[in-house]
Amino acid sequence: MAKTKTSYFCQSCGFESAKWLGKCPSCQQWNTFVEEIVEKASKNVPDWKTSTQISRVNKPAKIQEIVYTEDHRLITPDKELNRVLGGGIVSGSLVLIGGEPGIGKSTLMLQLALIIPNIKVLYVSGEESEQQIKLRAERILPKPVSDCYILTETSTQNIFKQIEVLEPNIVIIDSIQTLHSAHIESTPGSVSQVKECTAELLRFAKESNTPVFLIGHITKDGMIAGPKILEHMVDTVLQFEGDRHHVYRILRAIKNRFGAASELGIYEMQGSGLREVSNPSEILLSQRDEPLSGVTISATMEGMRPMLIETQALVSTSPYGTPQRSATGFDTKRMNMLLAVLEKRCGFKLGAKDVFLNIAGGIKVEDPSIDLGLAAAIISSNEDMPVPYKVCFAAEIGLSGEIRAVTRIEQRIAEAQKLGFEQIFISSYNKKGLDLSKYTIEIKTVSKIEEVFSLLFG
């Protein structure tokens, strides 16, 4: 019998070593190496269509002679998923979806399996029983439109046998960490098993031209569990984000070989599943009747989609001597930078006061274009003077107090105008090439932060 081959793998990043190491040279983590069996030559295990496989030798082709054909896409009834995938599901693509436990990954995939008309979908689950999936399907869609088949199996060889018999149009795996291949003797979820199972599914997707969706677990740091090579192997990586205590979920594209990697879709979690949010600005803005101090509206961009969000600030005297600085949904270091600019360039004494910032709706924003809106909210709360509700902001603030230009200003202005705003503050450097005559909204161009406060508060 051939000798069994073993190796040591880092459970954090997937680094392979011939011997055990205390510290991983790749990710610098301690005590993460585990011994795994990576090869068993004495056992001959059938693979995907090994009996009917035809060997083919690829030859180099001149780039001018290569014929390009447009990718065939399956348009789903879920418009948000179509947007994130770049226009629909590409045939033969391998899509990885990651997210926290309970965020809605399985719900989204089961909902997708039920709503596509005239499509045969195989939903493979290694975590739930058929009765559990049936119970959730009854809640999401009592009368499914597609032909959805449920398979509770963890062996890839058995899954491929059922695929050959059923010949589905879409395959969904829930989840990749529960699968195991007989080619590898490691436990399910280990680095070598995840790599081998993904490689087998990738080969199946490309040879059969069938799209495959993989649900993946994430670590406590928010990264997709398993080796980093897993994200390199697949065609598309989607991250499902959001707070489980809020109703809104964000599906963000991290990697996409068939579309833009900066798109996102927004869903609302309901008792009957996930509902698409086609216009997130109307949901993220509160419908208040009276003006409140410390509340402003900022125009931001998430991918190619403009959104108006509500930025809130609270400034109060510190009762304990040491002022507190807290930001929810915004970078705390950037907040400290804005406070330093307001104190140095505008003369506002905020060093001895507590400052709290919040992005309404439970979303996180990294776009610097909300700087001006946050600064206006801070001064509004400090002076206890409300900003008019029909005014919004879209500009970045520099360290010298200058108002800097932001990208895609036309889309931000058009979104504010569509939602009925009367004024928008932008940088004077954004005026170049901007046709002001086609907008009915009043556009205020400013170059210094002092100009904004004099126009708002006098």
Q: Architecture of domain 284-457 in CATH?
A: 2-Layer Sandwich (3.30)
Determine the Cα–Cα distance for residues 253 and 255; give it in Å rounded to an integer. Answer: 6
Question: For the segment 393-446, what is each residue's pLDDT rounded down to a tens digit?
Answer: 999 999 999 999 999 999 999 999 988 899 999 999 998 888 888 899 999 999
- Binding site annotation covers 106? yes
Residues ≥6 apart with Cβ < 8 Å to 107: 136, 140, 273, 274
Question: For the segment 54-111, what is each residue's pLDDT rounded down to a tens digit?
Answer: 455 678 888 888 887 777 889 999 999 999 998 899 999 999 999 888 888 999 999 9
Predicted pLDDT at 52: 43
* Domain boundaries, given as residue ranges, for the chain: 5-39, 73-278, 284-457
Q: Which two tokens stand for residue 259?
A: 């579309």
Strands (E), 257-363: 264-270, 273-276, 295-302, 305-317, 325-328, 353-359
Output the CATH code of domain 73-278.
Answer: 3.40.50.300
For the stretch 310-346, what's the b/e string if a residue is b when 16 or more beta carbons lie within 10 angstroms of its beta carbon?
A: bbbbbbeeeeeeebeeebebbeeebbeebbebbeebb
- Binding site annotation covers 87? no
Mean pLDDT value of segment 16-45: 77
- Binding site annotation covers 241? no
Predicted pLDDT at 243: 67
> What one-letter code names the amino acid at 356?
F
- Binding site annotation covers 143? no
Asked whether residue 383 carries a pLDDT value surpassing 50, the answer given is: yes
Mean pLDDT value of segment 371-377: 95
- Binding site annotation covers 101? yes
- Binding site annotation covers 401? no
What backbone phi and psi angles, to 5 degrees, belong to 450?
A: -65, -35
Q: Which of 430, 308, 442 lies closest to 363 in space, CA to CA?
A: 308
Pairing, β 89-90 against β 5-10: unpaired
- Binding site annotation covers 99? yes
Tell me, what DSSP letter sits at residue 384? Answer: T
- In 10 A of CB 435, how many CB atoms? 7
- Binding site annotation covers 117? no
Q: Which two tokens stand for residue 438?
A: 């086609």
Question: For the segment 208-266, what is each residue's pLDDT rounded down to a tens digit?
Answer: 999 999 999 887 777 777 777 888 899 999 998 876 667 788 898 999 999 888 788 88
Tell me the C-alpha to C-alpha distance, in Å, between residue 432 and each of 269, 356, 394, 399, 405: 42, 35, 16, 23, 10
